[in-house]
């Protein structure tokens, strides 16, 4: 289950870094109201995700010994992708906004 949570969270992070964006018009009305307007990654856009799980003793802080796990795949993924693109583009093209759509990356190249 943990491997599935980590892979799903990494997929969510990839979507947030490259595809997913909530858009609004000038009056504040949402423009991303359907899955046709709001792009989420599918298996076709995602790489193979390898998960590594290192097990430790259960925590004594709760009676079940449970720990959170899925968040770890989501938290760093957008930052890692943004930093990789920033490194590839160089210091003259700072990455300051996600998602890194093709149009945004093209504009950074100019």
- Does 35 score more than 80 pLDDT? yes
Domains assigned to the chain: 2-22+30-52+71-109 (3.30.365.10)
The residue count of the chain comes to 110
Q: Are 98 and 33 in contact (CB under 8 A)?
A: no
pLDDT in tens, 44-90: 989 999 998 888 888 888 888 887 787 777 888 999 999 999 999 99
Q: How many CB atoms lie within 10 A of CB 62?
A: 9
Between CA 2 and CA 9 the distance in angstroms is 10
């Amino acid at each position: 289950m943990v491997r599935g949570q980590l892979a799903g969270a990494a997929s969510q992070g990839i979507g947030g870094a490259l595809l997913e964006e909530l858009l609004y018009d000038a009056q504040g009305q949402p423009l991303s109201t359907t899955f046709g307007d709001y792009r989420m990654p599918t298996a076709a856009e995602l790489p193979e995700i390898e998960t590594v799980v290192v097990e430790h003793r259960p925590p004594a802080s709760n009676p079940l010994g449970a720990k959170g796990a899925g968040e770890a795949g989501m938290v760093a993924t957008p930052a890692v992708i943004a930093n990789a693109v920033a490194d590839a583009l160089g210091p003259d093209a700072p990455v300051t906004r996600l998602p890194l759509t093709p149009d945004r990356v093209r504009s950074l190249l100019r």
